[in-house]
Chains A and B, each alone.
Chain A
Amino acid sequence: MFEFFNRLFGAKPSSAMAKERLRLVLLSDHLSLAPDVVEALKNDLIEVISRYCEVDAANCDVTFERQDKQIAMLANIPILGMQRPKPPAPPPATPPSAPPGLPDGNAASAALATATPSAPDTAPAAKPPAKPGGANGRRRRRKQGVQGAPRPQPT
């Protein structure tokens, strides 16, 4: 009877709870990380990407998915623009001829990228700087798979 009402009102059967709990615990087992570490990882990830692009931090989503024998990390990080609204001051060693508005340390990689034009899309820093402000920066959403930790193997 109880069960009937539980099901009527959509209570989760205990087997579904078991499965969900297992999924989560194995995730951290496999990554050898505690769940709060995963949250910290997500924040660090956002921080690193923000060094290169303007990201929509409020709508970032980092999840883990099991694919066959591995866990994939799926980071869905909306990109608002390729340039930060307020670039940091260039380091003192940078020659005055360096183009303004490039993120720090990119003078060297920009020069390198122009020297190898055969792979232009691998060097986004070499592209002409986007319009600042992100107002007309195209909003891109992209899923990228990152290999996670496999099952722990014997050492």
Chain B
Amino acid sequence: MVNNVIPQEAPATAAIPQKRGRAIVVTSGKGGVGKTTTTANLGAALAAGGATVVLVDADVGLRNLDIVLGLEARVRHHVLDVLEGQATLDDALVTDKRVPSLRLLAAAQTREKDDVDTAAFTELIGTLRDRFDFVLIDCPAGIEKGFTNAIAGADEAIVVCTPEVSAVRDADRVVGLLGEGRKVTLIVNRLRPALVRKGKMLSVDDVNDILHLPLLGVIADAPDVIVSTNRGEPVALDATSLVGEAYRAIARRITGASTAAPEIPREKTFFEKLFGSRS
């Protein structure tokens, strides 16, 4: 992270310049396209790459990020506890044991999205930006209060979209609502290269002919993702997984460590099909 340089003539008592991490909201409009999976895996990959990362679950009432990360048993407090003064931020942050520079701030499960005050939530994101390199916000589906809260404090957005007409239409709507002030990029999730070849699925180009966003990456529809979610272990931490590598490549593109164009998942070769399947 780039810190502001203190001017030479500044008095010795000047406050230490605050670290300003990047606040990135992961959004889509449509539900079930992979926002939570993407947030968890990019968070894990960014943290494994050396950054300090906090994941904020903004899906109040439908908390999921904790279970996808395998941290559900360790959540003691949630966002609303912090906002309402029931717990300190440090009480509520759960540290990931596999990657200690990764933290989770869980959503309240038994509350409603309307209970979250937009200004207070935005301020909390600001506080987190001063402490972490990356603040990734897992946005709920829809375009109502939960969405507006989730995007309010974010200066960047990752739109997750599957190659389906409904997901693309909703993504288009969300891009409009995100406005002009944010850097918006695209991740195409659950691509099935064999179907694309047969003309049975929209290709990445088809999707982006419509959305016109900078492409951050493409994730294949992969059993690895389902298996790792079952286990509560982000696939991004699996060194042998192709999808895991795809997430790590996206993380490198986010930090600027890589400027290579995103790779489009390809079909498995006959040989890989014979020997490559995992459970």
**What separation, in Å, do the CA atoms of A21 and B169 have in the docked complex?**
10
11 sample A-B contacts, Cβ–Cβ < 8 Å, listed by A number: A7-B199, A13-B199, A13-B200, A14-B200, A15-B196, A15-B200, A15-B201, A18-B164, A23-B210, A151-B176, A153-B176
Q: Mostly helix, strand, loop or mixed at chain A's interface?
A: helix
Residue A154 lies at the interface, judged by CB distance under 8 Å to chain B: yes
Residue B203 lies at the interface, judged by CB distance under 8 Å to chain A: yes
Interface size on A, residues (CB 8 A): 22
**Out of B175, B199, B201, B203, which one reaches A151, CB within 8 Å?**
B175
Q: Which residues of B contact A21 (CB under 8 A)?
A: 165
**A68–B200 contact, CB under 8 A?**
no
Interface size on B, residues (CB 8 A): 22
Q: Which of B193-207 contact A (CB under 8 A)?
A: 196, 198-203, 206
Q: Which residues of A contact B177 (CB under 8 A)?
A: 152-154
**What separation, in Å, do the CA atoms of A15 and B165 have in the docked complex?**
9
Q: Mostly helix, strand, loop or mixed at chain B's interface?
A: helix
Residue B168 lies at the interface, judged by CB distance under 8 Å to chain A: yes
**What separation, in Å, do the CA atoms of A66 and B199 have in the docked complex?**
23
Nearest CB on B from A34, distance (A): 15
Nearest CB on A from B134, distance (A): 25
Q: Which residues of B contact A18 (CB under 8 A)?
A: 164-165, 202, 206
Residue B11 lies at the interface, judged by CB distance under 8 Å to chain A: no
Residue B266 lies at the interface, judged by CB distance under 8 Å to chain A: no
**A3–B165 contact, CB under 8 A?**
no
Nearest CB on B from A147, distance (A): 16
**What separation, in Å, do the CA atoms of A69 and B176 have in the docked complex?**
9
